[in-house]
């Protein structure tokens, strides 16, 4: 199975996302679909920046949309000097085999200016399992 990556740059900060379906953590029969994602952010600009907050919108094709806000990412508020990168891994759980996530990070420059860095919408799609109907609308 090929995994697609997604990327976007905003104000000199490039965000790349690599989502994956985790069959070993999922239980499709119980409506539990676990997706991990790796995020790498790179400061391609000329001034340092610090990640302060995150905002996620999680869309579940078979459930409710969820919004999540919080400080930093996985307990960190990384500083990125020009040319530096920071990566982390996290996950989300859906009730269906399809959905997406999108959002933004709030960064700050040394002078106190804050700005939003877009996280591109990335698809969360589990492979069709044997015995499932590939034309089921929840799968698409």
Instruction: State pLDDT tens for residues 3-41.
Output: 799 999 999 999 999 999 999 999 999 999 999 999 999
The pLDDT value given to residue 133: 52
Q: Was domain 6-123 assigned CATH 2.60.40.1470?
A: yes
Distance CA 46, CA 62 (A): 43
The residue written with tokens 């790349």 in the block is 16
The pLDDT value given to residue 138: 46
Distance CA 36, CA 77 (A): 20
pTM for the structure as a whole: 0.87
**Helical residues (DSSP H) of 37-125, grouped into ranges:** none
Among 35, 36, 139, CA closest to 96: 139
The pLDDT value given to residue 101: 98
The pLDDT value given to residue 137: 45
């Amino acid at each position: 199975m090929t995994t697609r990556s997604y990327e976007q740059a905003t104000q000199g900060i490039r965000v790349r996302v690599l989502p994956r379906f985790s069959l070993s953590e999922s239980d499709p029969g119980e409506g539990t679909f676990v997706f991990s994602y790796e995020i790498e952010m790179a400061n391609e600009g000329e001034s340092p920046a610090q990640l302060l907050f995150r905002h996620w919108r999680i869309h579940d094709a078979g459930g409710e949309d969820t919004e999540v806000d919080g400080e930093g990412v996985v307990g960190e508020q990384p500083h990125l000097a020009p040319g530096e990168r920071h990566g982390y891994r996290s996950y989300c759980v859906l009730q269906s085999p399809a959905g997406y996530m999108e959002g933004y990070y709030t960064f700050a420059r040394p002078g106190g200016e804050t700005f939003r860095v877009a996280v591109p919408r990335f698809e969360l799609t589990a492979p069709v399992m044997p015995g499932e109907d590939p034309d089921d609308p929840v799968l698409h």
